Structure 1
Amino acid sequence: MLPLPSNLVARRLVAFALPSLPSAPLPSPREAHLWCVKPDELKDASILQEYMKILSPCEKENVLSIKGEVLQKCALLSRVLVRTTLSRYTDCRINPRSFKFKKNRFGKPEVEWQQNDVGFPPSLQFNVSHTSSLIACGISVNDPIGIDVEEKQRRPNASVLSLANRYFSPPEVQYLNSLEGSDNQKIEFIKLWTLKEAYVKALGRGFSGAPFRKFTIRFETRRDLVSQKLKTGGFRIVVEPVSDHETLTANWQFALAEITESHFAAICMGMDENDTGKEHDLLKLKVWKTLPYIEDECLSDSGAVIKISGLS
């Protein structure tokens, strides 16, 4: 995809300064949108320089303070992805540069809508996750959202079982111990970790406010963790607090998917308790790969997104 021919880069950068970012329709109820960037696919320094102009002065300072070109590039693309993705859902009437953000008391970023943003959805929710090879921004309307992406081939610094004993709840540890083979344990550990990250991010409290050991990820159909259920899909994933914990609730909906054969993506969204157990509880998911202002590719219908569980 990149590097682009020099004449094509020039033409696209002329359009870059214009309000030509394609808009996107708002997600429907029980639907999440995921926009992804692969940093390795963007190699043109002039485009990165143009992207830097989108950031706020504070964001620029933070990006430039990061040591290492790779980490600096990922931080830049993460902020650009958030700003351009949000702009799409305002029909691009709000310039990506114009967004202001605030944090809740636990540090989760939110859009700080301005008085002149009349007619735009203050209920627009977003969340960001990234690895060194993929950056993702999740979007929902009305319902809080948390997302996490992890590389399928990620190699934990310690053994899977030692990490599980340290961070996971007893039923999850028992499940991992029941699996044969270190590769199976590693894959299921990554899936569980991704789901748990998405949950604490949807809560908006972070790991310190919702320790992983305080809740269990289960499949509703069996009430226990069964690997086959994770692979066949169609089963709603549920969360159960291990003990009475005032910050943890069960009215959340989960989905797990595989993206471009290289990453797991977990989505957690708030759910109306009155809808629990109904067929339409399964989430809908649309996924795009993007290089903002350059190229958008819908992955949802291309076979690049494999539904694992919780998705219609």
Structure 2
Amino acid sequence: MQTAKLFISNSNLKQIEFIPKKEYSLNSNDVIIYTIYLPSFINLKSDLANFLNSTEINRAERFHKEIDGNRFIIYRSILKLILAAYTKLDVKNICFDYHSNKKPYLASHPWLHFNISHSEDYAIIAVSRKKVGIDVEFMSEDFNFNDILPDIFNENEILSIQNAANRKHAFYTSWTRKEAFVKALGKGIDEDFKYIPCLDGQHIIDTTLLKTTENWKVFSLNIEDQYRAAVAMECLPKITPNIVLFTLPNTINTLIGN
């Protein structure tokens, strides 16, 4: 049986303010993460919509709730601005292709890996030269997760959640780790989701489960008190990735680097 290694841990990264022009560089072991507090960008919605094509505008208009359409406009346009900066393309020329699992990529720049997640008031984007996945979740007070635990966690993981001092925090920590990892793999949530590890430490995984032979690392991230997030990246066991967590400013001139 061929195996791969997966290392999982918490991260003590702190968000720092993003400085355009200085910061749009990407080395081989970099994972750059951008957090977007969506309400602070709502006044820029009209300006940001100018960076979207007609298909994307139509998609925004199909949301049942206006707030969800506005959120889509904000995080989709900012994603395109970020990718334009790394690729040196005009943002109007950022066009997404899609793998069979609907994961977007840039056919013109296959070396640039990216992933995006959003939940309630936050969106989060990860960019890397290696395969990467990211997930953020709002820790809802109303969501009763107890009934679904056996469907998505193994016995040890369930015990870890049930014995935790803060069960909600433990649930969302475990969930976001699994979700970020399967997004990095391009698998999505399927029948294998339950067997994706999520507890701290190093894990040995059958590569037939991963559908890949690479080694991986997953880190939990602190975004805000009511949110949990995680990032997963392709990474050799002896390599320490350079993870940077940026807070994006809510001005057009700063976003486009003027």
Please give the TM-score of this superposition, normalised by the length of structure 1.
0.68
What SS does the aligned partner of 2:74 have?
helix
> 2:117 matched to which residue of 1?
129
> 2:232 matched to which residue of 1?
268
Identity %: 20
Shift of 1:287: 1.8
Matched, 1:81 2:78: yes
Query: How far apart are the structure 2 equivalents of 1:249 and 1:189?
Result: 28
Shift of 1:81: 1.6
What SS does the aligned partner of 1:27 have?
coil
Question: Stretches of 4+ moved more than 3 A in 1?
Answer: 21-25, 238-244
Deviation sequence 1:233-264 (CA, Å, 0-9, x none): xxxxx455489536366711111120244432
CA 214–250 in structure 1, closer or farther in 2 if over 3 Å, else same: farther
Q: Which runs of structure 2 are paired with 1:282-293 in the superposition (5 Å)?
A: 282-290=240-248, 291=250, 293=252
CA 42–244 in structure 1, closer or farther in 2 if over 3 Å, else same: closer
CA 262–176 in structure 1, closer or farther in 2 if over 3 Å, else same: closer
Query: How far apart are the structure 2 equivalents of 1:240 and 1:162?
Result: 28
Aligned length: 235
Shift of 1:69: 1.5
What SS does the aligned partner of 1:51 have?
helix
CA 64–203 in structure 1, closer or farther in 2 if over 3 Å, else same: same
> 1:69 matched to which residue of 2?
66
Query: How far apart are the structure 1 equivalents of 2:159 and 2:204?
Result: 16
Q: What is the Cα-based RMSD across aligned positions, in Å?
A: 2.4
> 1:117 matched to which residue of 2?
none
5+ residue gaps, structure 1, are: 1-20, 114-120, 221-237, 297-312
Q: Which runs of structure 2 are paired with 1:242-257 in the superposition (5 Å)?
A: 245=209, 247=211, 251-257=215-221
5+ residue gaps, structure 2, are: 1-19
Larger CA Rg, structure 1 vs 2 = 1
**1:169, 1:212 within 8 Å by CA — same for their partners in 2?**
no
Query: How far apart are the structure 2 equivalents of 1:204 and 1:103?
Result: 11
Shift of 1:295: 4.2
Deviation sequence 1:97-147 (CA, Å, 0-9, x none): 21111111111110121xxxxxxx531110000011101110001x10000
Shift of 1:88: 1.9
CA 292–104 in structure 1, closer or farther in 2 if over 3 Å, else same: farther
Q: Which runs of structure 2 are paired with 1:106-125 in the superposition (5 Å)?
A: 106-113=101-108, 122-125=110-113
> 1:139 matched to which residue of 2?
127
**2:41, 2:74 within 8 Å by CA — same for their partners in 1?**
no
CA 240–163 in structure 1, closer or farther in 2 if over 3 Å, else same: farther
Deviation sequence 1:154-180 (CA, Å, 0-9, x none): 33522x332222211222112223335
CA 48–177 in structure 1, closer or farther in 2 if over 3 Å, else same: closer
**1:218, 1:240 within 8 Å by CA — same for their partners in 2?**
no
CA 79–202 in structure 1, closer or farther in 2 if over 3 Å, else same: same
Query: How far apart are the structure 2 equivalents of 1:85 and 1:173?
Result: 38
Please give the TM-score of this superposition, normalised by the length of structure 2.
0.81
**2:152, 2:194 within 8 Å by CA — same for their partners in 1?**
yes
> 2:16 matched to which residue of 1?
none
* One-letter amino acid matched to 1:83: K
CA 285–292 in structure 1, closer or farther in 2 if over 3 Å, else same: farther
> 1:197 matched to which residue of 2?
179
Query: How far apart are the structure 1 equivalents of 2:206 and 2:89?
Result: 43
**1:23, 1:89 within 8 Å by CA — same for their partners in 2?**
no
